[in-house]
Amino acid sequence: MEPLVHPSELSIWQVFLQARRLNRETSRSKNPDWYKSPAELTAQLHLFVEGDAIVRASFRSRTGGAVVWADVEAPSLEESDDGIKDYFATIFGSHLKKKHRSLGVILHLADEFAISELASFSEAPEDYNELRERLQADPREVIEDHSVTVDDLSFRLMPYRGQDKTPFAGVAITVSRKHHEMLRQFRICGEQANFPVRTTALSAPLEVLGALPTLIKAKPERPFCTLFAYQDFSVAAFFNKNSELALLRSIRHHSGGIPGNAHVIVQTMAVSLELTDPTVYLLCLSQREANGLNELTGAETLDWRADENFGEDLPLEFQLSKPTVAGADEEELKRKPLSATLTFADFAEHGWLTQDFLSPTIEEQQLHPSALEMKILSWGKIGVRAGVAVLALFILFLGVRAVSVMRDPAWHNSNSGSANAGNTLLQNDINKFKQWDAFLEDRSKAWVTMELIVRIFPDPSAVTVTEITHTARPEAVRDLAKISIVKDWTITGYANDNALDQLTALNTREGINAAFKNASEVTGDSSLIPDLPSRNLVVNLLASENKRYDPEKGIGPAYQFPFQFTLTISQRLSTDDPLAIPAAAAP
């Protein structure tokens, strides 16, 4: 894989490409161990640094609930980059490959322990965490001694809960950065092997401090002091009468072993802290020959190897890499009297004792995306794939739909307009036909009128018609499509008694209707049909005695018939009638 470039030197797009490359080419998105602390990993390499060498190396593996320790060859502190690479390859091949997904390298620093005083602060205890961050980011601002060269040193805050005279008390535990490069090489090996290697460097005395609640079974009645003895130095931890940590002091072993005046130093410090007659506990923690480390005047030796909670074959610090778990489970630890003190509760809550003194630099940490960003990239990738799949399915569906639509004859139809036009022409022809049909209807015929007269007066011997007048006239009404018609018949003549009776019968609605109906049936002329709703038929008979009646006087009809009559018939065909006259001209 190409070397990574710090994102501050890249454009925003290049930063994204680098993140995507890491997401694609490494297991960072799939293996959460990249972002866990070494103590959380199932495989751990514990290295104990004392004096000028790594004096003990053990491989810890956890499978299920069982923890297995195995001693491994310790790397040299002087190892070159390639040497570390080879060492990692050996460990990887023998202990990690196909067995574990990650490795935690835990360096227990028992080669040095220094204390730097902090500048005076008046902050409340709640500000410890902020102060811890400031101490790591810019120690020069926080350390009291401004002459200290901070670049090669690592500072971590350690609060004193037992100093109740001031609202805030603490010191900066100081170690050098000389092992930083070795841990960095381990991390680089992990990067190159695409195998999470997480590192941490813990201060061995601080780790042991966390084991005191387990080792001191009963809460001391009076102030006490613990002395953690290593080859090159001892660390004295003073606790007040409430078992709260009041002070830490480092005592150099200039001539090997605990200095002869160490008990005086301890007593002097106790007096300065106003701790009356403290109990002194001695813990010999060196992994080298313990010459002169087991003797301290007036001290009670705490034999941690005899404690049932710890194994005697491993350094105590290895077994304390996770304070809340090491030696006893959390519930059991809480039952220890010392664990209830503010000091140890604070240690457990804020992890003051397990601070990483050689954590990766800010620049190194910024080189890689965080776990959340990796998840976002993975979610984004899944989202994009899902989106592309949805898009592809949609396009497929759209294509199928488009083909299906375009196969439909309806899609290619463009004739509706011309079809309508053709129909309009045909309809015009039909309308023209209807119009002419209406114009040519048999609405007024002379021969039909003559046949009607014959039907009204069937017996020529009983009646003589002298005049027939028939008119058909339109009723002009504006703005109507059809024009109504009024047809009048006036029949004048002479009749005898029988004919007069017939005329009288005719002079009724039924009589005239029957006569018209009969004439209509005989002639086939629909204009005489009397009983359409659009028609109105009225008859009026005016009959009188014929004053010239005298059969002896002449042979003319005026003498032969006793009665004379005038029969008036009026028929109205309304505009709704089929025979109404079209107002408009035929098209």
Partner 1 sequence: MNPFYKKPVIAFGLVAPLLVIVVLLGIGLNYKAGLEKTYADRKSGYSDYQRTQMVREGLEETVRIQEPIMHKWMSLFETATASRVNEILGEVQKRFPGEEFQQTSFRRTNATSGIGGASAQPSVQLELKFRGTYRGLQNAFLDLETHMPQLQLDMLKIQQETNRNVLTADLTYTAWQKE
Residue 137 in contact with partner 1, rule: CB under 8 A: no
Residue 265 in contact with partner 1, rule: CB under 8 A: no
Residue 431 in contact with partner 1, rule: CB under 8 A: no
**Dihedral pair phi/psi, residue 250, rounded to 5°:** -105, 135
In the complex, minimum distance from the CB of residue 484 to partner 1, in angstroms, rounded to a whole number: 9
Tell which positions 524-563 bind partner 1, by CB under 8 A: 556
In the complex, minimum distance from the CB of residue 493 to partner 1, in angstroms, rounded to a whole number: 9
Residue 522 in contact with partner 1, rule: CB under 8 A: no
Applying CB under 8 A, which part among 30-38, 169-177, 330-338, 372-380 lies near partner 1?
Answer: 372-380
In the complex, minimum distance from the CB of residue 124 to partner 1, in angstroms, rounded to a whole number: 29
Choosing from 68, 124, 218, 446, the residue that interacts with partner 1 (CB under 8 A) is: 446
- Residue 293: which of 257, 331, 343 has the closest Cα? 257
Choosing from 8, 255, 461, 544, the residue that interacts with partner 1 (CB under 8 A) is: 8
Token pair of 18 as six digits: 């680098």
Decide the pairing of beta strands 463-475 and 53-63: unpaired
Residue 94 in contact with partner 1, rule: CB under 8 A: no
In the complex, minimum distance from the CB of residue 426 to partner 1, in angstroms, rounded to a whole number: 4
Token pair of 245 as six digits: 């940590």
Angle at 456 between CA 452 and CA 457, to 5 degrees: 120
Residues with Cβ within 8 Å of 118's Cβ and at least 6 positions away in sequence, in order, are: 131, 135, 142, 143, 144, 157, 170, 171, 172
Residue 584 in contact with partner 1, rule: CB under 8 A: yes
Applying CB under 8 A, which part among 109-117, 152-160, 265-273, 460-468 lies near partner 1?
Answer: 460-468
Q: Is 359 exposed, middle or buried (0-12, 13-18, 19+ CB in 10 A)?
A: middle
Residue 369 in contact with partner 1, rule: CB under 8 A: yes
53 or 472: whose CB is closer to partner 1? Answer: 472
Segment (H or E) for 450 = helix 446-456
Which residue type is seen at 269? M
Applying CB under 8 A, which part among 62-70, 255-263, 310-318, 422-430 lies near partner 1?
Answer: 422-430
In the complex, minimum distance from the CB of residue 104 to partner 1, in angstroms, rounded to a whole number: 22
- Residue 388: which of 400, 377, 396, 376 has the closest Cα? 396
Tell which positions 308-347 bind partner 1, by CB under 8 A: none
Applying CB under 8 A, which part among 5-13, 223-231, 274-282, 563-571 lies near partner 1?
Answer: 5-13
306 or 403: whose CB is closer to partner 1? Answer: 403
Q: CA–CA distance from 294 to each of 215, 223, 252 (Å)?
A: 17, 22, 15
Residue 2 in contact with partner 1, rule: CB under 8 A: no
Question: How far is C-alpha 472 from the chain's CA centre?
Answer: 88
- Residue 48: which of 37, 66, 60, 40 has the closest Cα? 60
For residues 296-328, one letter each, b for 16 or more C-beta atoms within 10 angstroms of the residue's C-beta and e for the rest, the string is beebeebebeebeebeeebbbbbbbbbbbebbb
114 or 468: whose CB is closer to partner 1? Answer: 468
Choosing from 99, 473, 509, 553, the residue that interacts with partner 1 (CB under 8 A) is: 473
Choosing from 267, 470, 515, 560, the residue that interacts with partner 1 (CB under 8 A) is: 470
Choosing from 20, 184, 249, 517, the residue that interacts with partner 1 (CB under 8 A) is: 20
6 or 30: whose CB is closer to partner 1? Answer: 6
In the complex, minimum distance from the CB of residue 241 to partner 1, in angstroms, rounded to a whole number: 46
Tell which positions 376-415 bind partner 1, by CB under 8 A: 376-377, 379-381, 383-384, 387-388, 390-391, 394-395, 398, 401-402, 405, 408-411, 413, 415
Distance between CA atoms of 564 and 539, rounded to whole angstroms? 17
119 or 405: whose CB is closer to partner 1? Answer: 405
3-state secondary structure of 71: strand
Residue 442 in contact with partner 1, rule: CB under 8 A: yes
16 or 549: whose CB is closer to partner 1? Answer: 16
Distance between CA atoms of 258 and 246, rounded to whole angstroms? 22
Applying CB under 8 A, which part among 53-61, 67-75, 333-341, 442-450 lies near partner 1?
Answer: 442-450
Choosing from 67, 430, 538, 542, the residue that interacts with partner 1 (CB under 8 A) is: 430
In the complex, minimum distance from the CB of residue 33 to partner 1, in angstroms, rounded to a whole number: 18
Handedness of CA 81, 84, 88, 90 (dihedral sign): positive
Decide the pairing of beta strands 245-252 and 279-284: unpaired
Distance between CA atoms of 270 and 280, rounded to whole angstroms? 10
**Dihedral pair phi/psi, residue 411, rounded to 5°:** -65, -35
